[in-house]
């Protein structure tokens, strides 16, 4: 099954393994992708993944974070991304651009700016975002956000991508509207399951109008929110308490999935949890040291950021580690069973994401019809040749990804790569692999 081809609309995939969205500092300060972006993406294509889902590329000029992450907010960003897509296509690899924006979960900024507090509703969230409070968007701001998604999708098609994926998970702006524990609005964008879906419906329709009926549109959707993880302080408490404590269950998100099918989307990309990172979407350990470093880097932006940094620095790591790791553990194929529920209920092609690395688990997931594709990022960052190892009959790489979650946190302040020193003979070897990620093919050949 892993090496069986599959078709989504007009897109042919040579196997069933997708490189999932993974961001990094691979653009210039204005958001224009650099050659490092092309070299990074091309390296996965060279190693036989069937498709690549891009980092979440920003659709809003103001809420684009961190610095040196890619944007698609103006037409001038199209050409550099198009060059990277052409390089990927040379290896019979499909390229889908994921678009989104963090809303009030924006964690870093050059300066404190009010735009970074915009969300579905006004509330306090200690763990996510740097602003002291989230602030409810006006109707005009929501309409502008919808237009931003539509224009970014147009640029995706003009850049030569094979499809566009809209991020309705990761705790980003759209999920801030979908989640009943976060969305406390009483206008047409909140107050009921249908009204909380309104912004996503408007975005999908606006995107379809810009890219046409023939261009594949996918949605990355959380199977369930699990608001209680990670440990967080989110105020005020809302009623019913199940909304505040849990958010959407699989029941509500299945309803959203069926509405999305009726809107004509091409596929669903299923993960779990609310926020990034979170223990359901990033199964594994909580990277205490990296979170501390990240909080220290942004502590000047607000009182909340300062307080968060103080809280993480007040206790030594051997005490902080077991507390912070409550709810965090590695669960193989964490979204596979949920993916099957969405696949059976909608009949849409489904990508399962989270906790995949072993060939036998991937094969079983596909053979049992739980998903049509398996997406991964961290294991491919650790072993970019993973698909080729599977082709050779190996079930697990010699030095597998440990799911320590250091890489997704480090990416906001450092070059993207594996930062688990236990996987390397020395720190020098680890640094060499990190720097190798952005080197061109010619440079890598010359190093051999």
Express each pLDDT in 351-364 by its tens digit.
999 999 999 999 99
Angstrom distance (rounded) from CA 64 to CA 23:
12
pTM for the whole structure: 0.97
Reference 209, options 157, 287, 248; nearest CA is 157
Contacts of 393 (CB under 8 A, 6+ apart): none
Enumerate domains of the chain plus CATH numbers.
Answer: 6-286+325-401 (3.20.20.70)
- Residue 48's pLDDT is 98
* Cβ atoms of 397 and 383 closer than 8 Å: yes
Angstrom distance (rounded) from CA 60 to CA 103:
9
* CA dist list (Å): 416 to 32, 64, 197, 381, 410: 17, 18, 34, 9, 7
- Spans in the chain with pLDDT lower than 70: 440-448
Roughly what angle, to the nearest 10 degrees, separates helices 193-211 and 139-158? 40
Angstrom distance (rounded) from CA 374 to CA 359:
11
Angstrom distance (rounded) from CA 441 to CA 159:
23
| Strand 267-271 versus strand 217-222 pairing type | parallel
- Residue 441's pLDDT is 58
How many CB atoms are located within 10 Å of the residue 414 CB? 18
Angstrom distance (rounded) from CA 428 to CA 442:
22
* CA dist list (Å): 41 to 27, 47, 68, 97, 414: 13, 11, 16, 12, 18
Angstrom distance (rounded) from CA 163 to CA 219:
11
In Å, how far from its chain's centre is CA 289? 22
For tokens 């000029």, name the residue. 61
- Residue 439's pLDDT is 78
- Residue 448's pLDDT is 47
Reference 170, options 20, 338, 356; nearest CA is 20
Angstrom distance (rounded) from CA 387 to CA 26:
24
* CA dist list (Å): 448 to 191, 441, 442, 445: 60, 11, 10, 5
* Cβ atoms of 424 and 433 closer than 8 Å: yes
């Amino acid at each position: 099954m892993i090496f069986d081809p599959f078709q989504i609309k007009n897109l042919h995939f040579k196997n069933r393994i997708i490189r999932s969205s993974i961001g990094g500092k691979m653009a210039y300060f204005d958001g224009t992708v650099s050659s490092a972006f092309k070299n990074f993406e091309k390296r996965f294509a060279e190693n036989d993944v069937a498709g690549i889902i891009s980092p979440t590329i920003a659709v809003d000029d103001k809420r684009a974070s961190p610095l040196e992450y890619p944007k698609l907010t103006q037409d001038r960003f199209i050409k550099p991304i198009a060059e990277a897509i052409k390089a990927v296509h040379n290896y019979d690899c499909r390229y889908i651009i994921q678009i989104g924006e963090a809303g009030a979960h924006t964690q870093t900024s050059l300066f404190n700016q009010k735009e970074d507090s915009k969300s579905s509703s006004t509330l306090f969230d200690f763990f996510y975002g740097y602003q002291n409070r989230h602030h409810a968007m006006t109707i005009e701001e929501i309409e502008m956000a919808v237009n931003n998604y539509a224009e970014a999708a147009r640029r995706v098609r003009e850049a030569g991508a094979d499809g566009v994926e809209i991020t309705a998970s990761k705790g980003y702006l759209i999920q801030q509207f979908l989640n009943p524990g976060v969305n406390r609005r009483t206008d047409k964008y909140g107050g009921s399951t249908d009204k909380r879906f309104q912004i996503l419906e408007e975005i999908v329709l606006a995107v379809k109008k810009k890219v046409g009926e023939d261009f594949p549109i996918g949605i990355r959707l959380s199977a369930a929110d699990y608001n209680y993880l990670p440990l967080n302080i989110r105020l005020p408490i809302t009623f019913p308490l199940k909304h505040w404590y849990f958010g959407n269950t699989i029941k509500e998100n299945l309803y959203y999935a069926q509405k999305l099918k009726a809107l004509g989307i091409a596929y669903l990309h299923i993960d779990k949890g609310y926020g990034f990172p979170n223990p359901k979407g990033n199964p594994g350990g909580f990277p205490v040291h990296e979170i501390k470093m990240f909080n220290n880097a942004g502590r000047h932006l607000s009182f909340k950021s300062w307080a968060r940094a103080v809280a993480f620095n007040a206790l030594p790591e051997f005490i902080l580690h077991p507390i912070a790791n409550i709810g965090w553990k590695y669960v193989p194929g964490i979204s596979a069973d949920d993916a099957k529920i969405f696949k059976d209920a909608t009949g849409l092609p489904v990508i399962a994401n989270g906790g995949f690395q072993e060939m036998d688990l991937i094969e079983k997931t596909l053979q049992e019809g739980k998903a049509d594709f398996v997406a991964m990022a961290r294991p491919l960052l650790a072993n970019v040749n993973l698909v080729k190892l599977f082709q050779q009959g190996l079930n697990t790489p010699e030095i597998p990804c440990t799911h320590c979650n250091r890489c997704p946190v480090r990416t906001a302040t450092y070059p993207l790569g594996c930062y688990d020193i236990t996987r390397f003979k020395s720190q020098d070897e680890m640094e060499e692999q990190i720097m190798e990620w952005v080197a061109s093919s010619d440079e890598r050949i010359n190093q051999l």
